[in-house]
């Protein structure tokens, strides 16, 4: 079976409307996405622009597409017309490019800032210092971006069996979420429209929920293991 219905029911029960399930469908065919859609799922996540733009037209128009991979600036325009939320934004340059493409389309694009919380060097994302710089030093550049909405933070915990370490990383990300959600971004004292804390995958989503995740990104539990990426 292409889609694990029992797991889908178990996960949606665990979320209890406190968190949104993003079904991660990278490397999986459109038929698998359609099968999960038919069970009621509407949020899907993809990591590769080429793959996403190939699948999107084959599937129902009311799917909310999440881009969860590492996005290159020169590819933003391909997903800008339809993307619901871009999770992995990790530079001011990328924010500026997303804003530019959104402006051309006369729309707003929602983004999450990726934070580097894991021990591994290979993972992408801002450090806390870089986020402080972004909101303080680069505040003027940021407020010039009228066509993006920074809706929250995203992070990936270390790839480890050490649940205490994963818990510490999720707890840290939640504390950053609370910190930047409360930060005034202009002299009127307005704050960012924070709503989503994207953390938790197949192996650690239950732990992520304990640390107030509002969006989990789950692939292999729903669609089976991936052969290649």
Ligand X SMILES: *Cc1c(COP(=O)(O)O)cnc(C)c1O
Q: Is 192 in the site for ligand X (CB under 6 A)?
A: no
The span from the CA of 190 to the CA of 169, in Å, is 28
Least Å distance between CB 225 and ligand X? 8
Stretch of 73-81, 95-103, 163-171, 195-203 contacting ligand X, by CB under 6 A: 195-203
177-206: b or e for each residue (b if 16 or more CB lie within 10 Å)?
beebeeeeeeeeeeebebebbbbbbbbbbe
Stretch of 50-58, 117-125, 135-143, 196-204 contacting ligand X, by CB under 6 A: 196-204
Nearer residue to ligand X within complex by CB, 135 or 170 = 170
Residue nearest to ligand X (CB): 219
Nearer residue to ligand X within complex by CB, 3 or 145 = 3
Least Å distance between CB 205 and ligand X? 8
Out of 25, 47, 110, 213, name the contact with ligand X by CB under 6 A.
Answer: 47
Q: Which residue has the tokens 């409307």?
A: 17
The span from the CA of 213 to the CA of 15, in Å, is 10
Query: How many alpha carbons fall within 13 Å on the CB side of residue 57?
Result: 6
11 close to 34: Cβ distance less than 8 angstroms: no
Q: Which residues bind ligand X (CB under 6 A)?
A: 24, 26, 47, 68, 156, 201-203, 217-220
């Amino acid at each position: 079976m292409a889609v694990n219905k029992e797991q889908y029911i178990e996960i949606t029960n665990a979320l209890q409307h406190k968190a949104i399930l993003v079904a991660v469908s990278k490397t999986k065919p459109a038929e698998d996405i359609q099968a999960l859609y038919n069970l009621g799922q509407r949020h899907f996540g993809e990591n590769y622009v080429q793959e996403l733009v190939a699948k999107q037209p084959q599937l129902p128009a009311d799917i909310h597409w999440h881009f969860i991979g590492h996005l290159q600036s020169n590819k933003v325009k391909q997903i800008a017309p339809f993307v619901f939320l871009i999770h992995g934004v990790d530079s001011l340059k990328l924010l500026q490019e997303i804003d530019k493409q959104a402006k051309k389309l006369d729309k707003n694009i929602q983004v999450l800032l990726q934070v580097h919380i894991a021990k591994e060097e290979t993972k992408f994302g801002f450090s806390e210092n870089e986020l402080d710089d972004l909101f303080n030093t680069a505040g003027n550049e940021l407020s010039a971006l009228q066509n993006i909405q920074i809706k929250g933070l995203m992070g990936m915990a270390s790839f480890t069996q050490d649940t205490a370490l994963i818990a510490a990383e999720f707890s840290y990300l939640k504390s950053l979420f609370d910190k930047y959600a409360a930060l005034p971004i202009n002299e009127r004292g307005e704050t960012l429209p924070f709503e989503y804390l994207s953390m938790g995958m197949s192996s650690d989503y239950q732990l992520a929920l304990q640390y107030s995740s509002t969006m989990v990104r789950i692939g292999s539990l729903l669609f089976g293991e991936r052969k290649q990426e």
